[in-house]
A and B are shown apart, each in its own frame.
Chain A
């Protein structure tokens, strides 16, 4: 009935309403693109007119050139893949480890209460400060970088996921108990599935966190990767290179975030 009503008799007012919404959406999109083009054009113009020193600020065409050169020599692919690899590993490990720790803390109220002050302190500690220690312990290489990414994301994950666990409705748990559920069943049948939205939003935060960890790690130790490229560019005073690696980073981080958003959509099909 209601479906028929919706498709068969669309009133002119409703059409106008839909059109208005669509127009607004288009206007937002156009403005977004316009702002980007305007900034790029202004940048380019300012550099060409010598209002700013392109040696220090670089400019869009120079970035494009650098990008082209990097792509030709195959260096682009190398650096991107190294960084992406480290980020994905750090991100995955951080999420998995964080969730496992959250499960342990959920399971044992005693451990959770003991761990609480430590978690709070570790959470407020800038993990980047541990960089030198990690390098000494893990050696200057990929392992240290991945560890950095892991450290940056793991505590946040623990806190976010545990909060999700603890917010599961006590009545839902009571319901399972009336069926005689064991603690493990409560975990797998209700606590974990009910927390998937929380875990996914933790993933979204972790994408950003892992990039921070990896880039800082690369600043400190690496011989390849986008962080390395940026630092190297800075050292040889080639701002084109620095800007280019930032641009690539922007694109890569955005793509990864979209990936998680896609995952969210896929797993939350019941949320309609």
Chain B
């Protein structure tokens, strides 16, 4: 095993149980993520994308197979992994700063240094003036940025992004995907992004996994190489290769939707 591999899924399957019976959510999924890589995961709804993130986050255990982070099997949630959900879920009764410190508080890691670091993150990403505001006073885009900083505050190695922009309007979504990519690259984090939005996945990822419909298996894998002046996702959408990737992936998903 290459020690640059930070996340490894080795032949992972997971079944959900309910009174109606057993449903296989994902089947024989294997892939590795190298340090600093940005992986996109797309697939039809219900194909187990979120399940994969939950497994990496340690919220569930696989029915079979192994999930490894830095070569060690995942036993439960750890501070190596940060999870960002669809909605920002900022706590209305906490100020922005208190919200950002939530993860550190839970992990018992509040110290002068960690607090300072969180405040610096807020300041670096343009939220310093809103430290003492309440979430309701912020716009949707700003709130989601706070949610990202809340995730970054615990200093995770791997960021799991579960359709983090889907609750936002289109313009905010574009602007924020730019910003989030920027922040993640700047902080040198590894990221896995789950999304419905093919364009978003292509423009943000280094590598893209396409899942089949339930039970989810890896249908294909694309290494995304887009030519552009900078690496901003909005700019990269104009790259000549973008259409090509889009059409290929679109077709692949379509086969399984219909």
Contacts and interface: CB of A to CB of B under 8 A. Distances in A.
A binds B: yes
Contacts of A193: 91, 93
Interface residues of A, number: 20
Given A189-B106, A272-B134, A177 B91 contact: no
B87 A171 contact: yes
B105 interface: yes
Chain B interface size band reads 20 to 34
Contact of B136 (A171, A190, A272): A272
A49 to B, nearest CB: 58
Given A174-B59, A189-B106, A270-B134, A180 B78 contact: yes
- Give the interface SS of chain A, mostly helix, strand, loop or mixed: helix
B154 A179 contact: yes
B251 interface: no
Counting chain A CB atoms within 10 Å of each CB, the highest count among B79, B85, B86, B93 belongs to B93
Nearest to B53: A178
Contact of B79 (A180, A185, A270): A180
B48 interface: no
B57 interface: yes
A29 to B, nearest CB: 30
Interface string A179-211: 111000100011001101000000000000000
B106 A174 contact: no
Contacts of A189: 102, 105-106
Contact of B81 (A174, A176, A178, A190): A178
B59 A179 contact: no
B93 A196 contact: yes
A5 B81 CA distance: 45
Contacts of A172: 89, 91
B163 to A, nearest CB: 12
Contacts of B137: 272
B107 A180 contact: yes
A271 interface: yes
A59 B94 CA distance: 53
Interface in B68-112: 76-79, 81-83, 85-87, 89, 91-94, 102-103, 105-107
B134 A175 contact: no
A176 B103 CA distance: 8
A169 interface: yes
Greatest chain B CB density within 10 A among A174, A190, A194, A196 is at A174
Contact of A270 (B85, B103, B105, B136): B136
Contacts of A190: 91
B107 A179 contact: yes
Q: Which of B86, B91, B105 is most buried by chain A, counting CB atoms within 10 A of its CB?
A: B91
A180 B77 contact: yes
Contacts of A178: 57, 59, 77, 81-83
Contacts of A271: 92, 136
B103 A179 contact: yes
Interface in B50-70: 57, 59
A270 B93 CA distance: 6
Contacts of A174: 59, 83, 85
B106 A181 contact: yes
Contacts of B136: 270-272
Interface in B128-147: 134, 136-137
Contacts of A181: 106
A169 B91 CA distance: 11
B77 A179 contact: yes
B89 to A, nearest CB: 5
A169 B89 CA distance: 9
Nearest to B83: A178
A172 B137 CA distance: 19
Contacts of B94: 270
Most chain B beta-carbon contacts within 10 A, residue among A169, A181, A196: A181
B91 A194 contact: yes
Given A189-B105, A272-B136, A177 B89 contact: no
A177 B83 CA distance: 10
Contacts of B105: 189
11 contacts: A172-B91, A175-B83, A176-B102, A177-B59, A178-B81, A180-B78, A180-B106, A181-B106, A189-B102, A193-B93, A272-B136
Interface of A: 169, 171-172, 174-181, 185, 189-190, 193-194, 196, 270-272
Interface of B: 57, 59, 76-79, 81-83, 85-87, 89, 91-94, 102-103, 105-107, 134, 136-137, 154
Given A179-B103, A194-B93, A270-B134, 5 more contacts: A169-B89, A175-B85, A180-B78, A190-B91, A194-B91
- What 5 A-B pairs have minimum CB-CB distances, sorted nearest first? A178-B83, A180-B77, A270-B134, A179-B106, A179-B103
